[in-house]
Amino acid sequence: MKTYLLYFLMLLSGSAYAQSPAQQGLALVGATIYTGPQTSPIISGVVIVKNGKIAAVGSDRQIKVPSDMKVVDCKGLVMMAGFWNCHVHFIEPKWDHADQQPAAQLSRQMDSMINSRGFTQVFDLAALNYPNLLTLRARVMSGEVNGPAIFTVGEPFVPPHGNPFYIRPLSLPEMNTPEEAVAHVTKQIRAGADGIKMMSASPDGQGIVPMPPDIIKAAISTAHKFHKPVFAHPTSDTGVNIALAGGVDILAHVAPDGYRPWTKKETDQLLQHKVALIPTLKLYKWELERNDLPLSNPLMTTALQQLRAYAGAGGEILFGTDVGYITDYDTSDEFRLMSEAGLSFDQILTSLTTAPARRFGMARHSGRIAKGMDADIVLLKADPHTNSQHFADVVYTIRSGKIIYSR
């Protein structure tokens, strides 16, 4: 009850996702600025930030820095809009008791996992302790803890007798009837969830357990009545087909477990249903390595092919790493693997910025460096246009005009 009251009070005080903006104006001077994907950079640029918003953008010949501004020398750095990570988890034990931990400790943990990676918005795709996550989010929203805007699906659900083997001894709610699914989704959203997530096909250790069609349709129609997006963990082609038939909006992973590449017919179906895809390629690399299996394993090659096929067909890609389940927070592997799958600089930047902003209804104020937009900004040490792994070389992360990380 305390957690939900705190969240309600935060809603009354303003935007549910806006961290308290820095009061002092900020001038970021000298960076090469990519204002968005498919745009030529501004060389030796200036960005003026006031009250959490971008007040001016241009070259140093166009923009005069006010004398009362705090100036950050960004010469040699590369600027772009703050990044989204659309697949994270705050499920490690270190996030427990978020109401009692010192703010400085939580901020350090955010630095390690989130802030130092350039993420100013994240979507949590499985809360095992939902009230604890809402408490953590409230402390970030208040400005007490440095961190990103945290969106969440609350507690995801699985098919009857379909708990995934890899989370044992933990378990997720099993939906046995459409009525149970409607009640679960409604409860999650009313408690503060920004979307819902399900296992459209779940590996139970002996096989793939599919979600019954009537249950998935009931859950999705309920979420859509609340205008919330629906994520599905597909596992394999079975899960993809069930998700498409039910009307899912976003696939939380590619689906390499069946070792089948996606054909043009299959990517056309994904396009027809306007499904977004979160690749999480590093997940497969990480799983293979910790099981002493080679990266040439069909799991990895299939994951790369599926991303290559859908991105090449013009499908919407959202960046995500499954960090929090993955305990290695470094993002450079994900960027390298996305490039290996054929994604260009502009496609990767789109997946990090404008695509999620558009998908989650925030494009009017987020995802680009432009006057009037939220001052969510990342500054990199080197230009990822020449090497995608430079997307991981974060020097500053700025959220609502406040520097939440500096190296």
> What mean pLDDT comes out for the span 224-241?
95
- What's the pLDDT at 111? 98
User: Residue 396 pairs with which residues in a beta bridge?
Assistant: 379, 406
Ramachandran assignment for 12, one of left (phi > 0), alpha (psi -120 to 50 degrees), beta (any other): alpha
| Sequence-separated contacts (24+) of 221-229 with Cβ below 8 Å | 221/247, 222/181, 222/182, 222/185, 222/186, 223/185, 223/189, 223/195, 223/196, 226/186, 226/189, 228/189, 228/193, 228/194, 228/195, 228/196, 229/194, 229/195, 229/359, 229/360
Q: Is a pLDDT exceeding 80 seen at residue 237?
A: yes
Tell me the per-residue pLDDT of 348-398, one tens digit each, with 9 for 90 and over. Answer: 999 999 999 999 999 999 999 999 999 999 999 999 998 999 999 999 999
Q: Which of 371, 316, 331 is nearest to 83 (CA)?
A: 331
pTM of the model: 0.93
Q: How many CB atoms lie within 10 A of CB 44?
A: 14
Domain boundaries defined on the chain: 12-81+368-406, 83-359
- What's the pLDDT at 167? 79
Q: Is a pLDDT exceeding 60 seen at residue 10?
A: no
CA distance 397 to 33: 14
CATH class of the domain comprising 12-81+368-406: mainly beta
What's CA 357's distance to the chain center, in Å? 10
Tell me the per-residue pLDDT of 16-47, one tens digit each, with 9 for 90 and over. Answer: 555 555 556 999 999 999 999 999 999 999 99
- What's the pLDDT at 7? 44
Q: Is a pLDDT exceeding 70 seen at residue 15?
A: no
Q: What are phi and psi of 20, to 5 degrees?
A: -55, 120
- What's the pLDDT at 6? 44
Tell me the per-residue pLDDT of 47-106, one tens digit each, with 9 for 90 and over. Answer: 999 999 999 999 999 999 998 899 999 999 999 999 999 999 999 999 999 999 999 999
What fold is seen in the domain 83-359? TIM Barrel (3.20.20)
| Strand, helix or coil for residue 405 | strand
User: Residue 138 pairs with which residues in a beta bridge?
Assistant: none
CA distance 276 to 22: 33
